[in-house]
């Protein structure tokens, strides 16, 4: 809580640093606010040197689980009054990491309420596209292999449109992770190399009659226009978590989903 | 300090919220880092509801001085281990606010070292353009009237190229503050209305033989390309503060000044 009794949002960033920033920016963008003072209280903790690589851990569980550092940084947020927090990283939500974070917070009596980006993304999908049944996922190889979204979508009754591991690696994973042409290396602008792969990937999902694509890796949000050009509905996991953090702290400040910047400006008068 | 002994940077944001984000992003951009773990530990505190408007206070000192809320939020950063902090707001550096912040921190024994955006901007000016003597300032009316940069530049031996109050208001202040066409209202992209005024303002400074323009208000960084097109050197106060925060905590991580994104990538191999 702030001195005046407002609930405080915590963002666990650093994995990676820009993903944390993007979540904070999305929170600001989804908040009804006409001036500085109407924006919500947010703390960002970005301590990347303490948090080992999440995908490396999932591939080799003999190394240190990044869950301990993440839990320690979330506990620290209690000191500055954070009420509700989210982790700006899809891969950290793999059960081998996320379940340990939750257990660490529970056993230490931490009062910060932690939201789950996977659950919130599926909730936003249900809310935005109530009639969709066939869903595609744009994610890293780590998320693909650990079936992070796939299992939860199937549980929720969806059909998951899933490319082969080779297609996923070449046309989707490398869009983000290619060391020279990927979105992590160059996002302003996204390279033609990545755009061509995005077009091939979206064409695949379109041909397989997927109705909605989930952006299950933060970097894909930076190519949202190119992805939307593929003609499918889009649900962005960063936006889903941002909206959930507002809903759990200041529900009256949450803009309607799917509004453009102009429409938000009109909505708040 | 982090658990592993790294110094922690604190960013006091919230005034406004996007200015805080932009300072954090600039810190990341000026850091030599090839992967997530090589980025620096940063905390962002963005609690805008507690911080009254800085310009309103300067125009009417009978209302609450925002210095007390800012000092309280900086003291709070001690709890999460922040070593060195900066305030992402030029107007908060007016003596009527900034001197009170420093006195509050001193009298409470706060160990956080606070850097000054005005001093750091002049330092970056001296370092980047060692032979420049005639300087123009792009700022809000509040910064213009309180002579925030002007007095310090004259002390440092510079000649300040200063338009009339009417020209400053019409062609510079409103570029940021116009409720529909200003950069605060629309920055992606900057409106043609604002671009025309920026062109007139830079033409004025060019005709008056200014050599360098100081971007003394965060929002002008968002129109840096349009401003640079005016043919003068540019010093961005947000970049100056970001570089100072890195220099005071991890000097070996600081990129060379004035490098493009491509050159930084080449520099770090």
Phi, psi of A4 (to 5 degrees): -95, 10
Backbone angles phi, psi at B54, to 5 degrees: -70, -45
Using the predicted structure, report yes or no on whether residue B149 has a pLDDT greater than 80.
yes
* Cβ-based interface (< 8 Å): residues of B facing A: 2-4, 6, 8, 14-18, 21, 24-25, 28, 36-53, 72, 76-77, 79-80
Percentage, residues of chain B above pLDDT 70: 95
The band of A268, judged by pLDDT with boundaries at 50, 70 and 90, is low
| Contact residues on chain B for A48, CB-CB shorter than 8 A | 36-39, 41
Calculate mean pLDDT across residues B222-230.
Answer: 87
Q: How many residue pairs from chains A and B have C-beta atoms closer than 8 A?
A: 118
Chain A interface residues facing chain B, Cβ-Cβ under 8 Å?
A: 2-4, 6, 8, 14-18, 21, 24-25, 28, 36-53, 72, 76-77, 79-80
For the stretch A183-228, pLDDT in tens is 877 777 889 999 999 999 999 999 999 999 999 988 888 888 889 8
Q: Which token pair is B49?
A: 């509801």
**Does B260 score more than 70 pLDDT?**
no
Question: Is the pLDDT reported for residue B265 higher than 70?
Answer: no
pLDDT greater than 80 at residue A90: yes
Helix ranges, chain B (H):
17-29, 54-59, 67-77, 95-107, 117-128, 141-145, 148-155, 165-167, 174-177, 192-207, 224-228, 237-247, 261-267
Q: Comparing A172-186, A240-254, B125-139, B191-205, which segment has the lowest mean pLDDT?
A: A172-186
Closest residue in B to A179 (Cα) is: B34
- Which of A15, A41, A53 lies closest to B46 in CB terms? A41
B27, closest residue in chain A (CA to CA): A17
d(CA A234, CA A210): 11
β-bridge partners, A234:
A213
Residue A252 is predicted with a pLDDT of: 96
Mean pLDDT score of chain A, rounded to an integer? 92
The 10s digit of each residue's pLDDT in A160-169 is: 999 999 999 9
Averaged over B216-231, what is the pLDDT?
87
Q: Which residues of B touch A51 (CB under 8 A)?
A: 36-37
Average pLDDT, stretch A49-72?
Answer: 91
Give how far A2 is from chain B: nearest CA, Å. 8
State pTM to two decimals: 0.92
Chain A neighbors of B43, CB-CB under 8 A: 43-46
Which of B84, B5, B253 has its CA nearest to residue A50?
A: B5
| B41: closest chain A residue by CA | A47
Task: Give the pLDDT score at A263.
Answer: 58
ipTM for the complex shown: 0.92
pLDDT score of B168 more than 60: yes
Substitution target in B1, B39, B253 with the highest count of A β-carbons within 10 Å is B39
């Amino acid at each position: 809580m702030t001195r005046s009794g407002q609930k405080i949002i915590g963002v666990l960033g650093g994995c990676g640093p820009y993903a944390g920033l993007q979540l904070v920016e999305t929170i600001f963008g989804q908040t009804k606010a006409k001036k500085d003072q109407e924006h919500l209280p947010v703390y960002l903790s970005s301590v990347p040197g303490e948090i080992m690589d999440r995908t490396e851990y999932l591939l080799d569980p003999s190394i240190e689980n990044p869950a301990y550092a993440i839990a320690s940084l979330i506990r620290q947020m209690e000191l500055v009054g954070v009420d509700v927090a989210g982790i700006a990283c899809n891969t950290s939500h793999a059960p081998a990491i996320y379940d340990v974070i939750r257990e660490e917070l529970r056993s230490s009596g931490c009062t910060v309420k932690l939201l789950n980006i996977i659950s919130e993304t599926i909730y936003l999908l249900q809310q935005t596209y109530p009639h969709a049944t066939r869903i595609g996922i744009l994610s890293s190889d780590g998320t693909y292999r650990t079936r992070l979204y796939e299992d939860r979508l199937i549980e929720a009754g969806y059909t998951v449109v899933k490319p082969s591991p080779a297609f996923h690696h070449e046309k989707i994973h490398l869009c983000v992770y290619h060391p020279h042409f990927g979105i992590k290396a160059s996002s302003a602008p996204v390279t033609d190399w990545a755009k061509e792969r995005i077009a091939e990937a979206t064409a695949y999902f379109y041909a397989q009659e997927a109705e909605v694509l989930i952006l299950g890796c933060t970097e894909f949000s930076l190519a949202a226009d190119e992805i939307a050009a593929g003609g499918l509905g889009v649900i962005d996991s960063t936006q889903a978590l941002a909206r959930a953090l507002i809903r759990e702290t200041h529900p009256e400040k949450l803009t309607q989903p799917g509004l453009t910047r102009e429409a938000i400006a009109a909505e708040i008068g």
